[in-house]
Amino acid sequence: MPWILRFAIGSLFVFVIGAAMIAWACISTGWEVLSWFAWGCVTAGAGLIATALFAMLSAIIHKSWRSFSLALMIVSVLLFLALQIFAKFA
């Protein structure tokens, strides 16, 4: 597996950390919830954008991993759209 794809998968774990921060904000109370929610959105969004960029680079450079890279990019874009919809209604 190319290193760029490993970075993409690692960036997907950054999204998971951001999603955990958002989940923590949803079950907590008080004013600190706003900062947890904001930092969770920033962390999750940065992880998904980095995943999409690394997957796109991998699809361009490594032809044999193109289908996996494109699938990873599609997943990250769909998760980013879901994050945007969740942030709008939260």
Mean pLDDT value across residues 37-56: 91
Would you state the structure tokens that stand for residue 54, as one six-digit string?
């690394």
Q: Which domain holds residue 41?
A: 3-89
Q: What is the pTM of this model?
A: 0.82
Residue range 57-87, pLDDT digits in tens:
999 998 899 999 999 989 888 988 888 888 7
If one counts the domains in the chain, the total is 1
Q: What is the pLDDT of residue 83?
A: 83
